[in-house]
């Protein structure tokens, strides 16, 4: 176990200045040394007061964690070293860490620091107390078009930033779109991220995304047909997932959902989309274009870039320069929380209760 800890130390603790290789013919910038913005600290899990679990993955879970000495709340991603080693996921974990370290956008969760112990790796991420966009869709049944437009615009803004850096997220879905206390969107979970060959992000030699075009990455209901057909990853992958997410916001369910994963894949390949009657023409047109079989025809992936996506009639009236200054849709509370809020605010005299 100590040997494993030393191995992770050597792979995850990088010292020195950033010295990228600029003569690699446009390939991903690689560096033997890297100065992290988010430091690797010597904290222990006992330094934190753990709260509710935000989410659980195959080799990790994310929990609410309050630092005991400062009171600062983080979303603490706890990763199982044994599983990561056994499944050869070390490079993926390291890539996620180093990519998050270089991202700086209000629509993306921030990485503050990392630490480790014998059994686990820890990433202290920005805590988004508003929960997942998925929860809002579930609690409300479906979102109004104004609500969906607001959230979709903030996702587009963050995706444009990510794509301009030469990165593909590859797992855009409502569960990975988190909400701040105020209700603004932040993209999370970069565990499937892939740098393109001309990416401006610096990666380390042993922190590489898969280089095989046929690698399946993502979540079944949001995977584009080209991935199922073993084509190379492109920015269009994320835009297809955006189209699926917008459809889900407006309808309450993903467009290709079926009784099994296999049936879902068949519907994706056949592009079997059924629009509810209450979808506006503008919404249907945008979703239809984002779910184009040809990735380069999807708005945002073509020669006009994100200009074509932002100028779509569905986004008419959106102030792209001041998105984060706009008032977000009201968040729907969990039923238990809502009940407590009602108890606190209703007139208890009505019930003949006195204190």
57 vs 238, 298, 328, 345, CA distance in Å? Answer: 20, 30, 29, 38
Give the whole-angstrom CA distance, residue 21 versus residue 114.
26
User: So what's the pLDDT on residue 35?
Assistant: 78
Contact 195, 99 (CB under 8 A): yes
Mean pLDDT of 199-222: 70
Question: Which residues of the chain are in CATH 3.30.200.20 domains?
Answer: 38-126
What's the whole-number mean pLDDT along residues 208-233?
78
Q: Domain 38-126: which topology?
A: Phosphorylase Kinase; domain 1 (3.30.200)
From-to residues of CATH 1.10.510.10 in the chain: 132-325
DSSP secondary structure code for residue 229 in this structure:
T
Beta partners for 76? 63, 124
Number of Cβ within 10 Å of residue 341's Cβ equals: 11
Q: What is the pLDDT of residues 115-151, one digit of tens each?
A: 999 999 999 999 999 999 999 999 999 999 999 999 9
Q: Which fold has domain 132-325?
A: Transferase(Phosphotransferase); domain 1 (1.10.510)
The answer, yes or no, to whether residue 351 has pLDDT greater than 50, is no
Q: What is the mean pLDDT of residues 80-104?
A: 93
Does the pLDDT of residue 262 top 90, yes or no?
Answer: yes
Neighbouring CB atoms inside 10 A of 91's CB total 18
Binning pLDDT at 50, 70 and 90, where does residue 45 land?
very high
pLDDT bucket at 27, cuts 50 / 70 / 90 = low
Return d(Cα 298, Cα 344) in angstroms, integer. Answer: 49
Residue 301 has pLDDT above 90, yes or no: yes
| Residue 46: pLDDT over 80 | yes
> Per the structure block, which two tokens stand in for 134?
């998925």
- The pTM assigned to this predicted structure is 0.85
Residue that wins the pLDDT comparison between 188 and 26: 188
Least confident of 4-8, 20-24, 35-39: 20-24
The band of 7, judged by pLDDT with boundaries at 50, 70 and 90, is low
28-37, 235-244, 320-329, range with the lowest pLDDT: 28-37
pLDDT higher at 98 or 346: 98
Q: Which residues are catalytic?
A: 171
Confidence of residue 209 (pLDDT cuts 50, 70, 90): low
């Amino acid at each position: 176990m100590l040997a494993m800890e030393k191995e992770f130390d050597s792979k995850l603790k990088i010292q020195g200045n950033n010295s990228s290789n600029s003569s690699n013919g446009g390939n991903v910038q690689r560096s033997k040394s890297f100065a992290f913005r988010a430091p690797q600290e010597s904290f222990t899990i006992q330094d934190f007061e753990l709260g509710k679990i935000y989410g659980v993955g195959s080799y990790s879970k994310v929990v609410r964690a309050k630092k005991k000495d400062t009171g600062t709340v983080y979303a603490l991603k706890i990763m199982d070293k044994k599983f990561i080693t056994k499944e050869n996921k070390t490079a993926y974990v390291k890539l996620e860490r180093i990519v998050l370290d270089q991202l700086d956008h209000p629509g993306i969760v921030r990485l503050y620091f990392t630490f480790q112990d014998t059994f686990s790796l820890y990433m202290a991420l920005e805590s988004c107390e508003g929960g997942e966009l998925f929860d809002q869709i579930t609690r409300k049944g479906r979102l109004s078009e104004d609500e969906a437009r607001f959230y979709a615009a903030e996702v587009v803004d963050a995706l444009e930033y990510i794509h301009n850096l030469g990165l593909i997220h590859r797992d855009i879905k409502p569960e990975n779109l988190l909400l701040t206390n105020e209700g603004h969107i932040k993209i999370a979970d970069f565990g499937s991220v892939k740098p393109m060959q001309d990416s401006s992000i610096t990666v380390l030699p042993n922190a590489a995304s898969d280089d095989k075009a046929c690698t399946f990455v993502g979540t079944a209901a949001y995977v584009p047909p080209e991935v199922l057909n073993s084509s190379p990853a492109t920015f269009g992958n994320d835009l297809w997932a955006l189209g699926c997410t917008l459809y889900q916001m407006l309808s309450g369910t993903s467009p290709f959902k079926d009784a099994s994963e296999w049936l879902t894949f068949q519907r994706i390949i056949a592009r079997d989309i059924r629009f509810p009657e209450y979808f506006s023409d503008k919404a249907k047109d945008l979703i239809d274009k984002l779910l184009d079989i040809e990735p380069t025809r999807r708005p945002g992936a073509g020669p006009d870039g994100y200009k074509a996506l932002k100028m779509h009639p569905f986004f008419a009236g959106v102030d792209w320069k001041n998105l984060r200054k706009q008032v977000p849709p009201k968040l729907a509370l969990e039923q238990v929380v809502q009940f407590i809020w009602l108890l606190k605010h209703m007139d208890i005299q009505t019930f003949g209760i006195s204190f």
